[in-house]
Each structure stands twice: as structure tokens, then as C-alpha cells.
């Protein structure tokens, strides 16, 4: 059974997703194919990752293998416009390239603006391009990544805004909760995707994580991922290890108690997991 979250446009997105950052080109297609067989249905790629073609190849192979039961509509493919291509003209050309890479699977489920950078006018132009892509049907959902509150307010105030971002993807874990940003997205109906939801593996031996893992008969990683789900956002664990796919999906037969969610949230160090030691 695929678990999903409803987006603000009525569409549904599978939970969790597989983060495809740093998956080597010679492994990416097989990793995605194996992940689909394990039960993953959402894949997060990007121009900057350099493996979009291979991610699409893995999805296409899985669909072609059994077209009666392996349906395109059940898979959710995400890619991103890189910051070098911000601006209306730049993003228009770049989106055509992204769509060409996705041609074997027909369309793109979600396109995000990968980084906001520091040019409001170019950000606006890129959002216009994404809105047009939804209107013409080449892209199903659009959103942003790494946007802070001020940048989200900017989008919501666009005079020509037709589509509110469905997603904001940014770093989140019990050790970096971004509570104010989290609440702003929630208030405005923007679903959050969390990259580095496992704190890059640097807090697996935390005593409370270990205690909860023992209580529920789960691994520390599964406690991290369940915290994400109980907080209401979508974790994007990244792994190339086939044996980890099923455990990363096996997080729906238990639920953390509210006080346990709060306990883990209280571990916030207000610093990126990339800076944790």
C-alpha cells in the first residue's frame, strides 16, 4: 500500500520519497528500479544532481516490465530548475530540457525552483514559467526549495499568482526543526519535503532515539522517519543500498506519541545537519 499526502491542489504525493542526490550515474537507473520493486513511488532528482536521465530510465524500465500493473500514474517524479537558469527566458529554455529528459515517462509530476538566490525579478520569472507549465499540462505540480519565510511571502504576493506552491523542500530533522518556517508553510497549505531527514546519520546513537527504537522494535532511522511523518511532512531519505529500501518504507505500522514527537523536536540545535559533529 502506498501512503500519500494530499497537496493544496488536490493531487496526492507518495510518502516517503527517495532522495537521488549523489547517486552515481552508473548506479542510478538500477537503484530507482530496485526501489520501485521495494515499494518506493516518489523520486526526487534535480538538474544539479546530474542523474535525471538515469532516474527516468529506471522508472521507464519498471513500467515497461509490466505495463498492466506498473502504472505511470502511480509514480511521482520530481526534478528542479537550477539557480543558473532563474528568469523567465532562462527557465523557459531549461524546462524544455527537463521535459526532454522526462520524455520516456511522458511528463513531470513536480518541478521545484531549487535555490532562490538573490534576484527577486528572476525568481518571479521562473514562477511564471512553472505556472504556464501546469496550465499546459506538461507539469502536474510546482513548488520551491530552500525558500525562507520572506521568499515565500514574496511568491504569495505576486500580482499574477495563479498557483500557490504545492511544496517547499528544505532541510529538516529532529536536530534542525526550523519551527518558524515549518509553521509558516503549514499555515499557508504548503506541504514540506525534508531532505537530510536522518541528520546525515550523525545522531543515530542519541539515547532517546535508541530508547524509542527499542520500544517500537524499529531502527533509529525508522524513528527519524516516523518523526517526519508524525510532524506532517515528507522525508526524503537517500540510500543506494537495496537492503535499506524496505525498512525505510516500513514506518506505517506504528506512531509516536505526541509527547515523543515533542521530545525529539526539543533536540533542535538550530544548526544544519551539515554542520553537526
241 annotated to bind ligand: no
**What is the distance between the alpha carbons of residues 173 and 193, in angstroms, rounded to a whole number?**
11
Helix axes 258-265, 207-216, angle to 10 degrees: 160
Distance of CA 258 to the CA centre of its chain: 24
Cell digits for 128? 511564471
Distance of CA 67 to the CA centre of its chain: 26
Report which DSSP code applies to 25.
H
**What is the distance between the alpha carbons of residues 212 and 256, in angstroms, rounded to a whole number?**
9
pLDDT at 273: 63
From the CB of residue 57, how many other CB atoms can be counted at a distance below 10 Å? 19
Kindly report each contact of residues 208-217 with a partner whose C-beta sits within 8 Å and lies 24 or more positions away, as own/partner.
208/263, 208/264, 208/267, 209/174, 209/264, 212/256, 212/260, 212/264, 216/254
Cell digits for 261? 514527537
Instruction: Please tell me which residue, 73 or 49, carries the higher pLDDT value.
Output: 73
Tell me: pLDDT of 92 over 70. yes
**What is the distance between the alpha carbons of residues 248 and 16, in angstroms, rounded to a whole number?**
8
Q: What is the mean pLDDT of residues 67-94?
A: 97
Is residue 52 classed exposed, middle or buried when 0-12, 13-18 and 19+ CB atoms within 10 A define those classes?
Answer: buried
Collapsing DSSP to helix, strand or coil, 204 comes out as coil
Distance of CA 93 to the CA centre of its chain: 24
Q: Can you give the pTM of this predicted structure?
A: 0.94
Summarised one tens digit per residue, pLDDT across range 93-114 is 999 999 999 999 999 999 999 9
CA angle 234/275/204 to nearest 5° reads 60
Collapsing DSSP to helix, strand or coil, 145 comes out as strand
**What is the distance between the alpha carbons of residues 151 and 183, in angstroms, rounded to a whole number?**
15
**What is the distance between the alpha carbons of residues 62 and 140, in angstroms, rounded to a whole number?**
21
Collapsing DSSP to helix, strand or coil, 103 comes out as helix
Q: What is the mean pLDDT of residues 131-136?
A: 98
CATH 3.90.209.20 fits 3-272, yes or no: no
Q: What is the mean pLDDT of residues 147-166?
A: 98
Report which DSSP code applies to 190.
P
Q: Catalytic site residues?
A: 49
Cell digits for 30? 538500477
Summarised one tens digit per residue, pLDDT across range 198-252 is 987 788 999 999 999 999 999 999 999 999 999 999 999 988 889 999 999 999 9
Q: What is the mean pLDDT of residues 65-78?
A: 97
Amino acid at each position: 500500500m502506498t501512503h500519500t499526502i494530499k497537496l493544496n491542489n488536490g493531487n496526492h504525493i507518495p510518502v516517503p520519497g527517495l532522495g537521488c542526490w549523489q547517486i552515481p550515474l552508473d548506479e542510478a537507473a538500477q537503484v530507482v528500479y530496485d526501489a520501485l520493486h521495494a515499494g518506493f513511488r516518489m523520486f526526487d532528482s534535480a538538474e544539479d544532481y546530474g542523474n535525471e536521465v538515469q532516474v527516468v530510465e529506471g522508472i521507464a524500465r519498471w513500467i515497461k516490465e509490466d505495463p498492466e500493473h506498473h502504472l505511470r500514474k502511480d509514480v511521482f517524479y520530481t526534478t528542479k530548475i537550477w539557480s543558473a537558469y532563474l528568469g523567465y527566458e532562462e527557465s523557459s529554455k531549461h524546462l524544455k530540457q527537463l521535459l526532454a529528459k522526462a520524455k520516456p515517462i511522458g511528463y513531470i509530476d513536480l518541478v521545484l525552483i531549487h535555490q532562490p538566490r538573490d534576484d527577486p525579478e528572476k525568481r518571479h520569472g521562473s514562477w511564471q514559467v512553472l505556472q504556464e507549465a501546469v496550465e499546459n499540462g506538461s507539469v502536474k505540480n510546482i513548488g520551491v526549495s530552500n525558500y525562507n519565510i520572506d521568499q515565500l511571502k514574496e511568491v504569495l504576493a505576486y500580482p499574477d499568482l495563479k498557483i500557490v506552491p504545492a511544496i517547499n523542500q528544505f532541510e529538516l530533522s529532529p536536530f534542525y526543526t526550523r519551527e518558524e518556517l515549518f509553521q509558516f508553510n503549514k499555515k499557508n497549505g504548503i506541504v514540506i519535503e525534508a531532505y537530510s531527514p536522518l541528520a546525515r546519520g550523525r545522531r543515530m546513537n542519541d539515547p532517546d532515539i535508541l530508547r524509542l527504537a527499542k520500544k517500537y522494535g524499529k531502527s533509529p532511522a525508522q524513528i527519524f522517519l516516523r518523526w517526519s511523518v508524525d510532524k506532517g511532512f515528507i522525508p526524503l531519505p537517500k540510500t543506494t543500498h537495496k537492503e535499506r529500501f524496505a525498512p525505510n518504507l516500513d514506518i506505517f505500522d506504528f506512531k509516536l506519541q505526541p509527547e515523543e514527537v515533542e521530545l525529539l523536536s526539543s533536540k533542535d540545535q538550530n544548526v544544519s545537519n551539515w554542520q553537526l559533529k
